[in-house]
Structure 1
Amino acid sequence: MCFISLFLVFSCSKKETEFKFQNQSLSTEERVVDLISLMTLKEKISQMRYDAPAIERLGVPEYNWWNECLHGVARAGEATVFPQAIGMGATWNPDLIFNMGTVVSDEARAKYHQFISKGQRRMGQGLTFWTPNINIFRDPRWGRGQETYGEDPYLTSRIGVNYIKGLQGDNEKYLKVVATAKHFAVHSGPEKSRHQDNYVTTKKDLYETYLPAFEAAVKEAKVHSVMCAYNRYNGKPCCGSDLLLQKILREEWGFSGYVVSDCWAINDFWEEDKHAVVETPEEAGALAVMSGTDLNCGSVYDPNLNEAVLKELIDEKQLDVALVRLFTARFKLGMFDDQKDVEWSKIPYSVVASEKHYKLSEQIAKESMVLLKNDNNILPLSKSLKSIAVIGPNADSKQALLGNYHGTPNNFITPLKGLQEKLPNTTINYALGSYIAKEWPTLKAIPKEVLKNEKGTGLKAEYYNNSNLEGEPVFTKSDATVNFIWTPVRPIKNLKSDDFSVRWSGEIVPEEAGEYRIGLKASSYAKLYINDSLKFEYSADYEPKLEYFDAKLKAKEAFKIRIEYSNTLSDPQAHLVWAKLNEDLLSPALEAAKKSEVVILCLGLSPEVEGEEMPVVIEGFDKGDRSKITLPKIQLELVKKIQKLGKPTVVVLMNGSALAINWTAENIHAILEAWYPGEFGGNAIADILFGDYNPSGKLPVTFYKSVKDLPDFKNYDMENRTYKYFKGEPLFPFGHGLSYAKFEYSNLKISDKIAKNEDIVISVDVKNNSKYSGKEVVQCYVTHKNDTLKNNPIRSLVDFKKVLITANETKTVTFKIPSTKYARISEEGKKVIESGIINISIGGKQPDKSVTPEDNVLITKVQIQ
């Protein structure tokens, strides 16, 4: 009998198998059904949780389904970090994002095979990724909007479909990885009430706005997994909704993959302060499975489904349906086959964080950036400048490169670093200038000069080769600071797993008196003691987590500190940080500006204050979301003070959501939107500001002037939301983005009459009438003029192409618009194609009120007969 290892890398003939399901010559369906037939009820239930344990008697290894790759492989050690998803949307370049999906899945496969070769099967080490987030960014207050591709269903679907295809690969037998379209459905905040809220929409809004990207993911990209959302929709929890998971997803769209719950979402089914639609965990588990949720990110299914079966709340055969879907995915990933037969297993680890992937990350960063304003052609700047000031809370911020759901990069090219590398002979005067917000100081590593131990500066560090600080340390030394990212090398040589722990101890002796914020940001698990009393402890099994406290400190007065850090994850890091509060940051910034020829202000937001369900409640920010969409007051004060100096000034924004920068837009000559641009963001910013790259990004969201322009955050009606329905005047419209080149549109060719259900064929010439080569996003919008249906969009994006046009070159761009794209959605949620007039616009932006003849947006009428 052949020995079958837990890693299922068979060293024997395929014919020498103990169980039928191990026979690779059988169909996937036969193998899956056989495996499930061999399981006990308890074993079946154990495989429906995200951290499924091994079934050793069957040779089934443990498997953790939880993994993320929103903009690069996350939380699995070193990886290439690409721009945040909102920046991917701003590229308007689906082909580029397909390439990104390909290289991300290359890294994912290489890392997975290295992990299993070492027997590692924890969170972040598998092949099932809970990506992409294709929810619609309908409101700029939503902190997780940064994870999406913007506010438009069509743009979102094009970017999402291409990313999914790149991730899942094109092999007929094996999936490269499993992608997951989330969060299904009607989900985009608020974060703090997502476990209680019930959202109600019209069928028109559901099918016109909230579902198209998911339908495209299922039908076009063949996405193999869908994650259901926390909220209720029309009274039913999304993870317990027959309408969403059965009628629409499986019956209407033919989805054949599996559904995973958002994490601990099924707990919301019975908990009193949540949805409370049932009374017990058993009822919650049964409802979720019967509604079509196959996999539980959480602990409801195991063991509560056992009780549910005993109480006849659910039949065991219904569990089998879910298990077939789950194990089909694992078989399609090649997890039960000889790895020599799995094409993707041959990808070498050398692709991870490779030069090729770095170049793609930087290219996407460049294409994502949107030139919002460039009065008097202040940009590009001259490289002959003798001095520039680089000022602002995001000028040297590593976190502002990353956004949320990020991997661990080997590079952190901040704007400051990118400009320093770009201009080695220019004097660069750097100043912080301000914090992100008054209540949110910029924390930096506590320097060695104020850290003391019995042997001198720094802290005593004891390193253990287990995660529990047990036994004797492997070695003891002094660490000058606690500011570690142990990627790719661990602090202890020859570790057999990711498990290790560290105890740091000593004293902090501040040189200056004042009020300080002291924090510990760490992955996995950490405790911080002050004067031998526990100040805080936390688990960070998702992303590195920051905890902090404020204290008044006296100069030269020591206090004891001890940190106990335990790691079990693949991206270990620990940072002991602080900031002196109430410091004068403005004066040094003004001095830096005064002695410089040009000022570059790096402003915006931070993923530390906008993101997923966070504890941050300060002015303008509310538990991950934003209560105001303006630039924080302290940054606006900085901009105004700098502007008064009369220096040429450029503002670079780094943020994940739209900002109402009204004063800045009126008073600063040049503004570049850089989003959270990835590990090479600083290089991309420098290239654009100094003319080595011609900006080509377009806004994937509307920049509004005030939160007063918006409906209530919890109102999911689309009235007066997004470019399609907003009746006011935006600060910067969806689709807006300037170039150093001047593109001119002419020779529009289109039939003035077409039959119903016929394609609309369009061609237009686009000339680059400038000395700069550049990429132009040619946008096609449709407006229906007949009013037989209610609540028509003002206009709808129906197609676009991003084309490279060299200096003085003319290119002809063609579109074929099928009737399914220009159809309207009725109040019943049905596509309707009627006779009547439609307006079609072609140009580099919307045909909105701000369009002038110089914009070269061409508009024509077409009669649908």
Structure 2
Amino acid sequence: MTANTPPTPPFRDQHLPFAKRIDDLLSRLTLDEKIGFLHQFVPAVERLGIADFRTGQEALHGAAWMGPATVFPQAVGLGATWNTDLVRRVGEAVSKEIRAMRARDDRVGLNVWSPTVNLLRHPLWGRNEEGYSEDPKLTSAIATAYTRGLRGDHPTYWRTAPVLKHWLAHNNETNRDTTSSSVRPRVLHEYDLRAFRETVEAGATAGVMPAYNLVNGRPNHVSPYLREHLRTWTDEDLLVCSDAGAPSNLVDSEHYFDTHEEATAASLLAGVDSFTDHGTDSSKITARVRGALDRGLLTEADIDAAVRRQLSVRFRLGEFDPEYDPHALTKDFDTPAHRDLAQEAAEQSVVLLKNNSGLLPLAPDTRLAVVGLLADECKLDWYSGTLIHRSTPLEGLYERFGVERVEFAEGVDRVLLKTSAGTFLHVPEADAADEVRGAEGALDPALLAGRTDLPPLTTDPAGTELALVDWGEGVLTLRAPDGRYLSVAEDGRVRASADQPGGWVVQETFRLEPHENGHLLRHIGTGRHVSVAADGVRVAEENPEIFELVVVERGEDAVTRITSQADVVLVVAGNDPHINGRETEDRTTLALPAHQERLLRAAHAANPNTVLALVSAYPYAIDHGSLPAMLWMSHGGQAAGAALARVLAGDVSPAGRLPQTWYATDSDLPGLLDYDVIGSRQTYLYFEGTPLFPFGHGLSYAAFSYADLRTTVDGDALKVSFTVTNTGDVTSDEVAQLYTRAVDPAVPRPRRELLAHDRVRLEPGEQRELSFEVPLRAFDFWDVARGGWRREAGPYELLAGASSEDIRLRTTVLLDGEAPAPRPVTRLGLGAADFDEQSGVAIVDRTKTSGDAVTAAQGRSGELVYRDCDFGGGVTEVTATVSGDGVVEISLDGGPALAVLTPQAPDENPYDYTTLSAGFIAEGVHNVHIRLRGPLRLAHVGFSG
């Protein structure tokens, strides 16, 4: 350094700890500059040489939304592998590709919004494809593996900075920004928080994203749990990024605050550090922050806390030490290793659900008939990257068995649409110059979607035969002979201009609506009907065309034509990830779409050797009784077809396991908004019915025996071991699963609960001893009587096997713990939400910042039960802290009401509480029953003598 060279500022000194460097940089930023850091798109600070930055890069199963990238199986498919090492390697590959893409395009971000840790509590959730499992232990294990891969192994610098989605208790798309998930304390701690907690405690997570919904009446973006729980689980600075548009929802749709200044201040104080709102326009958020400062709702120190956490992530990403960043020169993109990994992941995700009579694997000389809507598809979802390579099931089978041994019929209805004038819809041929080609000559959907330069549909005397694809629930797509889907662009014209259905609002879906002697054709994306005009076909508010549907060939007829002479029929069924179940849209049924059911029945009637391969983002309820074989895989990314073909051929023995329960019927399901997994007996943990296929289920081409279950309590851990032997004649993976159940619990506990698992590959005859060390805290439950964790002393059964229902070994261990004690209600009273049982009650926010209260659902009536309440030598008075209008009735052991409390002058403000009192005589230990009538809120009940 010369005399004229300015000294290096401390924030640029890589020898200093990050904390000191952040302190220095914060001290150099002006207030306006710090406010600018609070929006998703952070501007550069040129005077300090600091580049611009943005939070958010989608990377759920590959780099998304930024063009071509390696596409791995959907998250639920990665969950089905039960293979943490594989998932870690997938995360590693994804983060390397993001780094390589970042080097070419600085729009690619290093703060990745992934993985999704929401539990797959309800299979009708539209975003089922984004989660890993219904079980918190499996979810956290897979999520931890993925985040470790995304983070990288360097002790100082992260390859990418993963943010977990979506905090908290988020499993519905229907009215997702205004619905509240009522989550009792046991469900909160034992279920919803647990998956997040174990992933955060593993140390590879940069932060979380709050969900759109409310929990217990309070929006997640002002949740006190961010402070009370999340940030107590680690010493690292955790970045909290809002979901897109959610900050404005606090006022605009949720009406939780009167002004955006109040909402922004409350979010920042709760722990939100980065506001994703209004796209790239940061002016509205920064104006709200300044307004909150001017009103005294925020201080500069509050802003500093948020900026500090954001800077912590940027320092860990190596932004301020480019010459020391070990990931800066990463160029691994679409490498042979990544392609092989995509295929390995797809292969490991395949679940063999059924294989009666050993129909699978297929013999090499098998003559195959392949049918179904998904047979020649490689579907992408909303969070997929653009395919560089693709393999459909049909292509994989052609390659594996030979084109001459495989016949194909898609099974769609071929139709003409006849107008009232006697002409037919006609699709003009696309001029070769008009087509936009992507990788390997495929039509690029990103470039085709919304095009207005292609000719719109017209009519002519002959018309164009269209493939009518029925996706169920009245939703259909129409496809031209060259494979292009009919779509509607902003100008309202109908064109054959999409390679696949897609987009935030899908423009390729229609409904046929009976009308007079024909049908109207409604475009779902716009809600308008198709109209025929002189200048082409369009959607319009007026003059809808009445079409006659002329069926040229039924899909079932095409299927029957090719299946009767085949050795084996493969029906490939499932869903399109953009239709009937996706972000913004929940499913309404577990049933397979009726058209696909008809194809399956037609194929099986023609040839009993019919195999059903489901390729879907979620479970179905299938009447499979007469089917000899059945498989499932999620949409498996670029190598899905090759993977499925190799499993069918026996090149790979299937070892995927179901990450969630497959229910037999819709009647097995609770309401979509019923988040009380304990009270309504949801998921394999509590479900008492007979599932279609249980959690953890999956068959193999090999056979395995289990033996020598041993257990030892060692300090704060239970050590468990057993042996697994491949008794079959093929090499295969086995997923050994260890469960527990409390034998004689004092409160409802899971029927069985996953403690650990291991996926191991065994040669024929090979034996392996598997060992697990289970922390004793895994046997704890949340004791609402004391407001904390407690392990109940007594017997616990340990169960080892191949699924939650296929148990091969069991033993019982006696564990020490704390004895149950009655609730000391004379000392602590009863927190209203700390009930043991409830009916007709919802938990709501006691105040806008913290605490819970309860109210009768829909303002009608409900009941709470609190077990084993100790009134000691006796009490004479009861008090109830309430707001609003209604009645509180308190009784003992289900008897008559001993106290009835009613506010005399109820305030309309739900947060303005008053304390009511009445005489109440009780002594000893009793169950307290509280009945609520009307929209009143109950926060606390106290007893005194």
Fold match (TM-score > 0.5): yes
Q: Secondary structure at the match of 2:102?
A: helix
Query: What's the CA shift string for 1:315-362, capped at 9, x where partnerless?
Result: 12211110111112112212223x3321001212xx211110011111
Query: Residues 102-160 of structure 1, C-alpha deviation per residue, up to 9 Å, x if partnerless?
Result: 11111111111222xxxx33xxx110100000111100010112111110000001111
Please tell me whether the aligned partners of residues 427 and 496 of structure 2 are also in contact (alpha carbons under 8 angstroms). Answer: no
Is 1:412 matched up with 2:369? no
Asked if the contact 1:696–1:774 (Cα under 8 Å) also holds between the matched residues in 2, the reply is: yes
Q: Given the alignment, which residue of 704, 709, 712 partners 1:743?
A: 704
1:248 to 1:740, Cα distance in 2 relative to 1, 3 A? same
Aligned: 1:862 with 2:851: no
- The question of whether the paired residues in 2 share the 8 Å contact of 1:48 and 1:302 is answered with yes
Once the two structures are TM-superposed, the CA of residue 383 in structure 1 deviates from its matched residue by 1.3
Name the SS of the counterpart of 1:270 in structure 2.
Answer: helix
Q: Distance in 1 between matches of 2:633 and 2:609?
A: 19
Give the whole-Å Cα distance in 2 for the aligned partners of 1:332 and 1:252: 19
Change in Cα spacing, 1:17 to 1:369, as seen in structure 2 (3 Å) is: farther
How far has the Cα of 1:72 moved from its partner? 0.8
Distance in 2 (CA, whole Å) between partners of 1:95 and 1:798 is 18
| Cα shift at 1:547 | 4.8
Native 8 Å contact 1:451 1:481 kept in 2: no
Select which of 198, 205, 225 maps to 2:180. Answer: 198
* CA apart distance, 1:544: 9.0
Which one of 427, 430, 437 corresponds to residue 458 of structure 1?
430
Residue 197 of structure 1 deviates from its aligned partner by 1.0
How far apart in 2 are the matches of 1:763 and 1:407? Answer: 42
1:794 aligns to 2:763 (yes or no): no
Residue from 155, 161, 178 that aligns with 1:178: 161
Letter in 1 for 2:697: H
What is aligned with 1:834?
792
Q: Does 1:361 align with 2:330?
A: no
Moved more, 504-513 or 776-785: 504-513
Match of 1:95?
85
Matches within 5 A, 1:170-249: 170-189=153-172, 191-242=173-224, 244-249=225-230
Question: Aligned pair in 2 of structure 1 residues 541, 267: CA closer, same or farther (>3 Å)?
Answer: farther
**Residue 834 of structure 1: CA displacement?**
2.9
Q: C-alpha distance in 2, partners of 1:175/1:282?
A: 35
Distance 1:758 1:65 in 2: 40
Alignment of 1:539-618 (within 5 A): 546-547=507-508, 560=536, 584-614=554-584
Q: 1:294 touches 1:326 (CA, 8 Å); kept in 2? A: yes
Q: Which amino acid aligns with 1:396?
A: D
Q: Does the residue aligned with 2:724 lie in a helix, a strand or coil?
A: strand
- The residue aligned with 2:766 is 809
Q: Does the 8 Å CA contact 1:135/1:182 hold for their aligned counterparts?
A: yes
1:18-63 superposed Cα distances (whole Å, 9 cap, x missing partner): 7553344443233333333333333322221112223333333222
2:320 aligned partner: 336
Letter in 2 for 1:458: A
Q: C-alpha distance in 1, partners of 2:4/2:154?
A: 21
CA–CA distance in 1 between the matches of 2:343 and 2:619? Answer: 22
- Counterpart residue number, 2:20: 30
Contact 1:408/1:487 (8 A) holds in 2: no
Question: 2:457–2:495: 8 Å Cα contact kept in structure 1?
Answer: no
Partner of 2:378: 398
Aligned-partner Cα distance in 1 for 2:454–2:92:
45
Structure 1 Cα separation of the partners of residues 143 and 313 of structure 2: 20
Deviation of 1:450 after TM superposition, in Å, equals 6.9
Once residues 496 and 654 of structure 2 are traced to their aligned partners in structure 1, the CA distance between those partners, rounded to angstroms, is 48
Offset of 1:391 from its aligned partner?
0.6
2:357 is equivalent to residue 376 of structure 1: yes
Aligned match of 1:635 in 587, 596, 600? 596
Per the alignment, residue 857 of structure 2 pairs with none
Say if 1:558 and 1:389 are closer, same or farther in 2 by CA, change over 3 A.
Answer: farther
- Structure 1 residue 419, shift from structure 2 partner: 0.6
Match of 1:445 in 2: none
Cα deviation 1:837-864 (Å, max 9, x = unaligned): 1111111122x3xx5xxxx611111122
Q: How does 1:599-678 map to 2 (within 5 A)?
A: 599-614=569-584, 624-661=585-622, 663=623, 665-678=624-637
Structure 1 stretch 674-683 or stretch 824-833: which is displaced more? Answer: 824-833
Distance 1:16 1:27, change over 3 A: farther
Query: Using a 3 Å threshold, how does the CA distance of structure 1 residues 738 and 519 change in structure 2: closer, same or farther?
Result: closer
1:64 aligns with 2:54: yes
Tell me the equivalent position of 1:468. none
Deviations 1:438-473 (A, max 9, x none): 99x9xxxxxxx9765xxxx534xxxxxxxxxxxxxx
Counterpart residue type for residue 782 of structure 1: T
Check the 8 A contact 1:78/1:487 in 2, yes or no.
no
Counterpart-to-counterpart distance in 1, 2:85 and 2:4 = 39
**Residues 298-317 of structure 1 mapped to structure 2, 5 A cutoff:** 298-299=277-278, 301-317=285-301
How far is the alpha carbon of 1:16 from its aligned partner?
5.7
Superimposed CA distance per residue, residues 470-496 of structure 1 (whole angstroms, 9 cap, x where no aligned partner): xxxxxxxx52545x44799999xxxxx
Distance 1:255 1:542, change over 3 A: farther
Q: Secondary structure at the match of 2:339?
A: helix
Instruction: Please state how far the C-alpha of 1:526 moved relative to its aligned partner.
Output: 9.6
Structure 1 residues 361 and 549 mapped into 2: Cα distance closer, same or farther (>3 Å)? same
Match of 1:165 among 148, 154, 160: 148
Pair 1:319 & 2:310 matched: no
Equivalences, count: 757
2:731 aligned to 769, 773, 778, which one? 773
Looking at structure 1, the residues matched to 568 and 363 of structure 2 have their Cα atoms a distance apart, in angstroms, of: 10
Which deviates further from its counterpart, 290-299 or 640-649? 640-649
1:283 aligns with 2:234: no
CA deviation vs aligned residue, 1:739-777 (integer Å, no higher than 9, x gap): 0101011222235xx58x643222222111111110101
Partners of 1:660 and 1:89 lie apart in 2 by 20
What is the CA–CA distance in structure 2 between the aligned matches of 1:366 and 1:28, rounded to whole Å? 42
After TM superposition, list the pairs within 5 Å mapping 1:398-547 onto structure 2.
Answer: 398-399=378-379, 402-424=380-402, 426-434=404-412, 458-459=430-431, 479=433, 481=435, 484-485=437-438, 504-506=453-455, 508=457, 511-512=462-463, 527-529=489-491, 546-547=507-508
Return closer, same or farther for 1:507/1:268 CA change in 2, 3 Å cut-off: closer
Question: Which residue of structure 1 aligns with residue 875 of structure 2?
Answer: none
The answer to whether the Cα contact below 8 Å between 2:136 and 2:194 also exists between their aligned partners in 1 is yes
- 1:495-543: per-residue Cα shift (whole Å, max 9, x none)? xxx9x99862445456526888669999xx9945467x99999xx9986
Deviation per CA, 1:393-414: give whole Å up to 9, x if none.
1111222xx3331111211201
**Which SS does the other structure have where 1:626 is aligned?**
coil
Residue pair 2:458, 2:537 contacting (<8 A) in 1 also: no
Equivalence for 1:143: 126
- The structure with the largest alpha-carbon Rg is 2
Q: Any stretches of 5+ residues in structure 2 without a counterpart?
A: 279-283, 418-424, 469-476, 512-519, 522-528, 540-548, 817-945
Asked if the contact 1:136/1:148 (under 8 Å) is kept, the reply is yes
1:105 equivalenced with 2:83 (yes/no):
no
- What SS class does the counterpart of residue 504 from structure 1 fall into? coil
1:260 is aligned, of 232, 241, 263, to 241
Further displaced range: 75-84 or 372-381: 75-84
After superposing the two structures, state which structure 1 stretch, 590-599 or 767-776, moved more.
Answer: 590-599
Cα distance, 1:369–1:502 mapped onto 2, change above 3 Å:
closer
Q: Give the superposition deviation at 1:683.
A: 0.6
Check 1:545–1:284 CA distance in 2 against 1; reply closer, same or farther (3 A cut): same
What percentage of aligned pairs have identical amino acids?
A: 31
Instruction: Give the residue type in structure 2 aligned to 1:174.
Output: Y
Please state if 1:704 is matched with 2:663: yes
Structure 1: tracts of 5 or more residues without a match: 3-12, 442-448, 460-477, 492-497, 564-579, 615-623
**Inter-partner Cα distance in structure 1 for 2:341 and 2:28:** 46
2:201 touches 2:233 (CA, 8 Å); kept in 1?
A: no
| Matched residue type, 1:352 | F
